[in-house]
């Protein structure tokens, strides 16, 4: 892997990780277009550079992280309660991921399943478009904040996150839409999605690093890993800030258009034999 390839993959990871477009799908596409053959090392690489995106969100939400840490130490009841709800939401994806890891890798990690998920996700966004106010701007979500998340809400968001085990679905899309559907305000749904993502991505990164980290370093060397990590961190920080501001006054339709358009283009390239589906 060249440093330019590492830079591109890092930017793709950081930009798409928290947007409702599926980072996994974009990374699979980027690997094919860059001519990077799929291997255990390559799979580990695109998972491990998620650490850069994790660091970016930890920095942006450092005050919330301090609240969670104080809750863990028994100094903040609200922080402890939120931490407990995050754990509840985290469990379903872990259980299903471990049970079906080999089946998912064998069946779903191809571009045709990703194209299908992109298209379906885009149609779902259009189908669930929120109402619009007198000013024409979308009225999204309810009024519940993070403090209002109960066991049922956390469980439902956690179950929704399991949909993202299908590459191309988007973890952020599933969890944000679930939160909004359950009455959370958009800021609360987005923040809970990001915090849940820290758990999920952190666990996936640690798992892949322990399992295939040696193969990754042997295949690519340390320099591409560092470049991918830094690129992911910087681009994720920019992407997350933009998404939070965008959703305050816009709907999610732009992501639906992107998903469907990308699905059509990639499907055309696959059908024409210009892109490998494997």
Tens digits of pLDDT across the chain (278 residues): 899 999 999 999 999 998 999 888 899 899 888 988 888 888 889 888 989 999 998 988 889 999 999 988 888 898 999 999 999 999 999 899 888 877 777 777 788 999 999 999 999 888 877 555 445 555 566 778 888 899 999 999 999 999 988 888 888 989 999 998 898 988 899 899 989 988 888 888 888 888 888 888 999 999 999 999 999 999 999 999 999 888 877 878 899 999 999 999 999 999 988 887 76
Distance CA 268, CA 250 (A): 30
Distance CA 14, CA 124 (A): 24
Q: Biggest alpha carbon distance in the chain?
A: 60
31 within 8 A of 171, measured Cβ to Cβ: no
Total Cβ atoms within 10 A of residue 148: 14
182 within 8 A of 143, measured Cβ to Cβ: no
Bridge partners (DSSP) listed for residue 139: 131
Query: CA triplet 52, 94, 66: central angle to 5 degrees?
Result: 50
Supply the pTM of this predicted model: 0.85
**Burial code of 56-69, b = ≥16 C-beta within 10 A, e = fewer?**
bbeebbeebbebbe
Residue 73, exposed/middle/buried by CB under 10 A (0-12, 13-18, 19+)? exposed
Give pLDDT, residue 179. 92
Segment (H or E) for 3: helix 3-16
């Amino acid at each position: 892997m060249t440093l330019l390839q590492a830079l591109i993959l890092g930017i793709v990871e950081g930009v798409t990780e928290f947007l409702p477009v599926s980072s996994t799908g974009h990374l699979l596409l980027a690997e094919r277009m860059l001519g990077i053959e799929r291997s255990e090392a390559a799979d580990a690489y695109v998972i491990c550079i998620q650490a850069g995106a994790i660091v970016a969100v930890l920095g942006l939400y450092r005050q919330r992280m301090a609240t969670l840490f104080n809750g863990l130490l028994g100094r903040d009841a609200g922080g402890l309660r939120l931490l407990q709800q995050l754990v509840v939401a985290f469990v379903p994806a872990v259980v299903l991921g471990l049970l079906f890891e080999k089946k998912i890798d064998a069946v779903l990690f191809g571009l045709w399943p990703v194209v299908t998920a992109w298209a379906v996700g885009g149609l779902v966004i259009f189908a669930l478009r929120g109402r619009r106010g007198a000013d024409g701007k979308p009225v999204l979500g309810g009024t519940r904040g993070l403090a209002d998340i109960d066991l049922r809400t956390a469980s439902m968001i956690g179950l929704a996150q399991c949909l993202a085990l299908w590459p191309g679905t988007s973890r952020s899309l599933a969890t944000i839409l679930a939160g909004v559907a359950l009455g959370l305000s958009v800021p609360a749904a987005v923040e809970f999605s990001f915090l849940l993502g820290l758990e999920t991505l952190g666990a996936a990164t640690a798992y892949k690093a322990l399992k295939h980290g040696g193969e990754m370093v042997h295949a690519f060397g340390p320099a591409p890993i560092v470049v991918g990590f830094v690129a992911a961190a910087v681009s994720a920080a920019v992407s997350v800030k933009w998404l939070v501001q965008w959703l305050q006054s816009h709907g999610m339709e732009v992501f639906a258009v992107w998903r469907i358009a990308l699905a059509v283009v990639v499907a055309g390239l696959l059908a024409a034999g210009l892109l490998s589906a494997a």
